Amino acid sequence: MTPWITLALLCGRPTVAAEAPALIEADTAWTAADSPWHVGQAVTIAAGATLTIEPGVRVEVDEGVGITVLGALVAAGDDDGAVVFTRTDDHDGVGAWAGITFTADSESALFEQVDTWVGGSRLEGCELRYGARAVLIQGASPLIRGCAFAHNSYEPEGSDSQGGAAIRIIDGSRARIEGNSFDDNHVGGWGYGGAIEVLEADPLILGNHFEGNSSVYGGALCLQTSQGAILGNSFVGNVVEGEGGAVALYSSAGAFMDNTITDNESVFDGGGVHVCVDCKPHAAPWATDNVIVDNTSRAIGAGGFGAAWLRGFMWNDIHGNVRGDSPADLQWTNVEQADYPAWVHSPVVPHNWWGTTDPDAIEETIVDGEDEDEYGVVDWQPPADGPIAAPTPRAVITTPQIRYEQTFDAAPIHLVLYNPGQARELELRLLLRFDDAHLVPYTRDLGVPELEASGDAWRVSMPADSAIFAPIHDPGTGTADLPPGVRWIAILYDADSGEMIGEPLETPVLFDDGGAR
């Protein structure tokens, strides 16, 4: 028997990679028995076809070559091994591959029981490395869960701000990005979002870990014109040459809850998180239950959290952040403008733990109108009297922005329902506040299959560490007949005991004149 045949039998795998075809027109499986698979030319998965990649398969892709999904791609590793996507030869000096593109026509993921995948495109238990952007999502909404993204690098051309070396999400996608790790992903030049960039899309980004990523704006993550929900993630040791060492939010107004942001670094504002100061529409996120500790800004702005617009900021642990050698947990840079109510210009940010209850020490770490006259003044009273306890389930209504420069049609209103910790039965109630004394239960169909109507409330079985993120109103289906200026209040209860969980969260709006909000 010849030596190479003996070696092949001992290894249990072919010595020559299986060649991927240029076009997959029917349901196809890439098997572990044939692994590795070599992609030497651009591969297209045609509409109506599904490519299934078995656990343990290694996919080696040549420089500049990628996979385009018009149908469905299902690649799921398990205990038998991850599905690995990498450049051919997988070593320094070999050019990056061009990644996986989910087009707007590709099959989006389908779910039951909140987060159980039942069909559509899915990457789960995969490793994606050494790509020139590993995944591009254009309008479709795949599931990407439990994957490891490492050593991906993207270089935009000229002054192009395209970024996201691991994932770029655009064109209205509602992708679910859950439980992944993002390590050592980098965007060069003027590109945004070292690991993930979101542009005009609303993904759920849940329970991921970001470490050692970098770019010029949003070292790990950048959201632009997005209402996406950022829940339960950890950001450690990410670096940015501009603003937002971990996260930059540009014209984005989603929920930012239960994230841990530590040891990140920026040159300018927001060593931890930067909320764009002068972008329009204004960025105005909810920020609750986060740990924002020991982040650094080297030059100006906040070491921890820098903002000029917020829907809410409460129940956060925020301390130990510095600008140079000075305490700088929060910097507030909203300049007073006509027609803006007081809550916009000078926000109330109660129940945060600043590492101390000493008023002078808290004042020292907040940069606002007390330090620079043109800015609003932050009211941080009352502070928490110690570190915040484990995060509690929360329900919040998010609206896309505080203000456009001119009035546009109202945009969809979203519900974020987040359950950190063990599985539990919850009850949700929504109220509308028409004025200070007039509260009305909201009982219209929310269009969310997981929520079961029960009188003037909804019941839901939430799995452990899960979230529902869904539009509950669209201007074309009834929102427009609500009076302008209405405020939404979300209240959660334990469905078994009837006890309220946490506090009601009320979504403020800016105008009562019918303007977009």
Q: Which helix (H) or strand (E) holds 264?
A: none
Nearest to 117 by CA among 137, 139, 146: 146
Regarding beta strands 239-243 and 265-266, do their DSSP bridges make them parallel or antiparallel, or are they unpaired?
parallel
Distance CA 453, CA 458 (A): 4
| pLDDT at residue 91, rounded to an integer | 64
> Could you tell me the residue ranges of all domains in the chain?
394-507
* Amino acid (one-letter) located at 348: V
Task: Tally Cβ neighbours within 10 Å of residue 100.
Answer: 29
Contact in structure between 367 and 341 (CB atoms under 8 Å): no
Which amino acid would we find at residue 419? Answer: N
Q: In angstroms, rounded to a whole number, what is the distance separating the alpha carbons of residues 152 and 167?
A: 10
Pick the CATH number of 394-507 from 1.10.287, 2.60.120, 2.60.40, 1.10.357: 2.60.40
pTM of the model: 0.94
DSSP conformational letter for 411: P
Report the C-alpha gap between 172 and 198 in whole angstroms: 10
Closest CA to 252 of 313, 198, 296: 198
For the chain, list residues with pLDDT below 50.
Answer: 1-14, 403-409, 478-480, 511-517
Q: Cα(116)–Cα(423) distance, rounded to whole angstroms?
A: 14
pLDDT of residue 408: 44
pLDDT in tens, 18-49: 999 999 999 999 999 999 999 999 999 999 99
Q: Helix count (H) and strand count (E) of the chain?
A: 3, 55
pLDDT value of position 161: 85
pLDDT of residue 452: 95
Structure tokens at 320: 């130990």
CB 210 within 8 A of CB 234: yes
Structure-block tokens of residue 23: 């076009």
- pLDDT tens digits along 474-509: 655 544 456 666 788 999 999 999 999 999 998 876
